[in-house]
Amino acid sequence: MSKKIRMQRLFNSNSGKTFLLPIDHGITLGPIKGLDSYCNTVKSATTGGVNTIIAHKGTIRRLLEEDIYGSFSYIMHLSASTTLSQCSQKKVLVTQVEEALAYGVDGISIHVNLGGEEEPQMLKDLGDVSNECEKWGIPLLAMMYAPAAENDENITGHLIKIAQEMGADMVKISYNGDLTGLRDYISNTKIHTVLAGGGYSNNVKQLLARIDQAIAQGFSGVAIGRNVFQSDHIKLLAQLISNIVNQEETLETCLKKVEELGHDYF
């Protein structure tokens, strides 16, 4: 029952969809734009309609100390690596589910890279974390990646299936191909699947159209990080994304707003 209650907090109560904002990039990439003032970023994004913030424990601790909480939820990210390492694709656990519970978060996330020498250990970590999440009744988001998956429908479908088989409640995937091809994988596994936003592109129209396609093909929502927190207009962009995810406005209406705002905004 506790997992069901927490799951409900991660999603919009009206639409059943979710808009996740990952800000866990600091360990991997360092103090990039948008994360140098992450308290302001979170305030702007959640005011704009973000349902859930994904972050590491130090960031969540600071946000809670600054009294930044309310109608949105937190997911604590448990795994990490850095671009400074020669094995940057090897994600290791840097905290535990039980510690995350002490922060009052509503979910756990873990990053898994498949296809390399470190795959067995990361799969084992996913299994161990999944067991702990089941024990404590807390939802698990599996961030699943593999070489070529972003352009390969079958590999991406495999990632979705692995997350479901391992007991995750949600899976985050990155995919650049035709989203229509993933509809059956999502429908057959019945796992909440969210589409990652990828690297910063500064093409808002393309981003909104992609999000609209994802919702139409059965995705449960999106996880947009850099394309939101590196924007100069975080709250406004979050509002547009939220409106599309929750189908409160059509894509055409949102694109018209972008046109009216002009290049000074986007």
The active-site residue out of 17, 24, 185, 212 is 24
Active site residue 36: no
Q: Which residue shows structure tokens 């424990």?
A: 57
Task: Kindly write down the DSSP assignment for every residue of the chain, as one continuous string.
Answer: -HHHHHHHHHS-TTT--EEEEE--HHHHH-S-TTTTTHHHHHHHHHHHT--EEEE-HHHHHHHHHTT--SSSEEEEE-EE--TTSTTTT--EE-S-HHHHHHTT-SEEEEEEE-SSTTHHHHHHHHHHHHHHHHHHT--EEEEEE-TTGGG-HHHHHHHHHHHHHTT-SEEEE---S-GGGGHHHHHHH--EEEEE--S----HHHHHHHHHHHHHTT--EEE--HHHHTSS-HHHHHHHHHHHHTTSS-HHHHHHHHHHH-TTT-
The active-site residue out of 38, 172, 175, 212 is 172
Active site residue 172: yes
The active-site residue out of 17, 57, 106, 145 is 145
Active site residue 24: yes
- The alpha carbon of residue 190 and the mean position of all alpha carbons in its chain are separated, in whole angstroms, by 18
The set of catalytic residues is 24, 145, 172
